[in-house]
Amino acid sequence: MNRSPNTIREPCRRAARICLFAALVSCAEPRREAAPVASAGTGGATPETARTTQHPPAPPPSTPSTPPPPQPRRLRDAGAELPLVPPLLAANGTALPQTQDRPRLDSAGFQRRLERLVEAIAHDDPERALPAFFPLVAYEQVKAIAAPGRDWRERLVRAFQRDIHDYHRQLGDDAAGATLARLVVDERKVRWMDPGAEGNRLGYYRVTRSRLRLRLSSGAERELELTSLISWRGEWYVVHLHGFG
């Protein structure tokens, strides 16, 4: 059976229209991306998400803006930094002058000199106590007498040494362990002695009949007389330890 040309072309046109429609539909449908594969250790998050959700590393400890407070230094005996006897001479070698400064019983230097005095008594060694004795350079200025230096050496220092030996003997077996407890001074007896009094040409402070209190190794205390203290440049010194003789 013979077909007409129109009969043959009609199926072809229909097939062409179907292909064109399918192509249009395919272009109009949105393209779907494949789901990204989760990387290990991110808990199912994408690599990009993992990079944004991870916590940054902790910063290193910062240096304090201010330095730490200094450690307290070990305390030292204040008296250990002071000389036993304050300066008596000027830089040019001349004797420093007397002052009217009232001496203090709590002076660090005076306390150390008293300790040396007690050590001298404990060990029967008068040389240890010489820093506590009134200085020669001061005595030569103070006393309006002939040859004050000789009087200082032959009378005052000898009596001082004798009294230290006597006190050592009085303490007996307790002498070796004796230490300074305190000095008992009646402040009402402190006097400024004007020039001309007691054969002096310069004034000074004086106090008499003080009590040197010692602590013995047994724990008991013992008092010894400290007969006379006089001042030089605001510091106390011993002149007579036991009596004026």
User: What is the DSSP annotation of 123-142?
Assistant: HT-GGGGGGGBPPHHHHHHH
Mean per-residue pLDDT, 169-187: 95
Give the model's pLDDT for residue 48: 43
Residue 207: pLDDT over 90? yes
The letter for the amino acid at 92 is: N
Give the model's pLDDT for residue 80: 44
* pLDDT-based confidence at residue 226 (cuts at 50, 70, 90): very high
Mean per-residue pLDDT, 137-165: 96
Assigned domain for 231 exists: yes
Assigned domain for 105 exists: yes
Assigned domain for 76 exists: no
Assigned domain for 137 exists: yes
Mean per-residue pLDDT, 62-91: 57
98 vs 46, 69, 160, CA distance in Å?
96, 45, 23
pTM as predicted: 0.67
Distance of alpha carbon 80 from alpha carbon 133, whole angstroms: 19
Mean per-residue pLDDT, 160-176: 96
Give the model's pLDDT for residue 83: 81
The letter for the amino acid at 222 is: R
Q: Which tops the pLDDT comparison, 212 or 65?
A: 212
Mean per-residue pLDDT, 98-108: 96
Contacts of 160 (CB under 8 A, 6+ apart): 126, 129, 133, 238, 240, 241
Assigned domain for 11 exists: no
Return phi, psi of residue 199, to 5°.
70, 30
Q: How many residues does the chain have?
A: 245
Q: Tell me the three state secondary structure of residue 6.
A: helix
Assigned domain for 188 exists: yes
Range(s) of the domain holding residue 167: 97-240
89 vs 70, 96, 136, 137, 233, CA distance in Å?
39, 5, 12, 9, 12
Distance of alpha carbon 57 from alpha carbon 154, whole angstroms: 88
Contacts of 221 (CB under 8 A, 6+ apart): 181, 213, 214, 215
Residue 189: exposure state from Cβ atoms within 10 A (0-12, 13-18, ≥19) = exposed
Mean per-residue pLDDT, 111-133: 98
Assigned domain for 71 exists: no
Counting residues of the chain whose pLDDT is more than 70, the rounded percentage is: 67
Give the model's pLDDT for residue 36: 45
User: First-to-last CA distance in the chain?
Assistant: 177
Mean per-residue pLDDT, 68-78: 37
Assigned domain for 22 exists: no
Residue 30: pLDDT over 60? no
In the chain, the number of structural domains is 1
Residue 49: pLDDT over 50? no
* pLDDT-based confidence at residue 43 (cuts at 50, 70, 90): very low
* pLDDT-based confidence at residue 53 (cuts at 50, 70, 90): very low
Least confident of 5-19, 26-40, 76-90: 26-40
